Amino acid sequence: MRWIGTFTKIWAYAGISAVCAAVLFLFGYVFFQGAGIISVEFLTEAPKGLVLGEEGGIWPAITGSLCFTGTAMVLASVPAAASALYLVFYCRSQRLYQAIRLVIQCISGIPSIVLGLFAYSFLVRDLNLGRCIFSAGVALAVMILPFIEVRAEKAFREVPAELVRSSYSLGCSKLYTITRIVLPACRGELVSGIILGGCYAMGATAPMIFTGAVAYAAVPDSIFSPAMALPLHLYLLVAQGSTSMDTAYGTAFVMMAMILLSSLLATAYARRSQNRWKRS
């Protein structure tokens, strides 16, 4: 039976090598193709050219994307953390727990274009908010809510039960225990979950096509104005054909760099915060 063990090992190594190679190739290819166009002008100017985006930069798209993502993170994190707290510390009925879990799973299963359609018909049209960062932010928030909730719930469950019970045994309320023990213990995990959710939102295009992202706009001055977004800008540049492929790769480069950097920061923050909490 030794050959089964050897085979499994080779299979595992081959699998992990293939995945790493694919990811590295993807990043490497985009960075290699896009690196040439990156310059201070590209990062700080608005798109220009006869075919829009062929020349100039992507500054409004960068700020727009940050605004969309920030709005989604704020709108999603509060209900996500609250529902995770409820499920872990307050919900005593198994049925209710299962029902809430099912709803959250269903939300994560909704195609993002449907979320966009919902936000368009309800917020943009019925509530007359128009295409703006807020409308798109709501659609993106619904999309990333289950993502953040699952991570928050996992983090809350990983707080040692004995610590929570020790606090209860001193006669302290749940709220006090949550604010003094649970949230500080999970701060890193929570923040990193929210940032990773933001990364997910930053790369999504479908929820904001109808609701807030536009082909061209200046740097947004309020969350009730439309804005450019990196993924939609990238899509439009590619759709325009070969003349704007360089700027398309440049846009992809910036977007991936932003997402990668945010993910790394989130992971580092989670680790640091966990260590610091343990040492405090």
Partner 1 sequence: MEEILMLKNVSVFYGEHPVLKDVNMGIRPGRILAVMGPSGSGKTTLLRALNGLLWEEPEAEMKGEICLQGRDTRTMDREELRRRVGLVFQTPQPFPFSIYKNMTYAPRYYGIRKKEQLEEIVREKLMMAGLYEEVKGELSKSALKLSGGQKQRLCIARALTAEPEVLLLDEPCSALDVKASAVIEETLLGLKERYTIVIVTHNISQARRIADDAAFFSEGRLVEYGKAETLFTAPEKEETRSFLTGVCG
Q: Which residues bind partner 1 (CB under 8 A)?
A: 92-94, 160, 162-163, 165-173, 176, 180-181, 185, 277-280
Q: Please, what is the minimum distance in Å from the beta carbon of residue 154 to partner 1?
A: 19
Q: Please, what is the minimum distance in Å from the beta carbon of residue 152 to partner 1?
A: 20
Q: Please, what is the minimum distance in Å from the beta carbon of residue 167 to partner 1?
A: 7
Q: Please, what is the minimum distance in Å from the beta carbon of residue 97 to partner 1?
A: 9
CA dihedral of residues 193, 191, 211, 42 (deg, nearest 10): -100
Q: Please, what is the minimum distance in Å from the beta carbon of residue 217 to partner 1?
A: 48
Q: How far, in Å, CA of 10 to CA of 87, rounded?
A: 42
Q: How far, in Å, CA of 226 to CA of 210, rounded?
A: 11
Q: How far, in Å, CA of 86 to CA of 233, rounded?
A: 39
Nearer to partner 1 among residue 2 and residue 95 (C-beta): 95
The DSSP secondary structure of 234-270, one letter per residue, reads HHHHHHT-GGGHHHHHHHHHHHHHHHHHHHHHHHHHH
CB atoms within 10 A of CB 21: 11
Separation in Å, CA 206 to CA 112, 136, 202, 209, 236:
6, 10, 11, 6, 13
**What letters, b where the CB count within 10 A reaches 16 and e where it falls short, cover 125-143?**
eeeebebbbbbbbbbbbbb
Q: Please, what is the minimum distance in Å from the beta carbon of residue 91 to partner 1?
A: 9
Nearer to partner 1 among residue 25 and residue 176 (C-beta): 176
Nearer to partner 1 among residue 169 and residue 242 (C-beta): 169
Nearer to partner 1 among residue 101 and residue 129 (C-beta): 101
Q: How far, in Å, CA of 29 to CA of 26, rounded?
A: 5
Nearer to partner 1 among residue 48 and residue 272 (C-beta): 272
Q: Please, what is the minimum distance in Å from the beta carbon of residue 93 to partner 1?
A: 8
Q: How far, in Å, CA of 45 to CA of 57, rounded?
A: 5
Nearer to partner 1 among residue 178 and residue 214 (C-beta): 178
- Pick from 28, 32, 31, 8: which is nearest to 20 by CA? 28
Q: Please, what is the minimum distance in Å from the beta carbon of residue 180 to partner 1?
A: 7
Beta bridge partners, 227, equal 213
**What letters, b where the CB count within 10 A reaches 16 and e where it falls short, cover 148-160?**
bbbbbbebbeebe
Nearer to partner 1 among residue 163 and residue 261 (C-beta): 163
Nearer to partner 1 among residue 2 and residue 278 (C-beta): 278
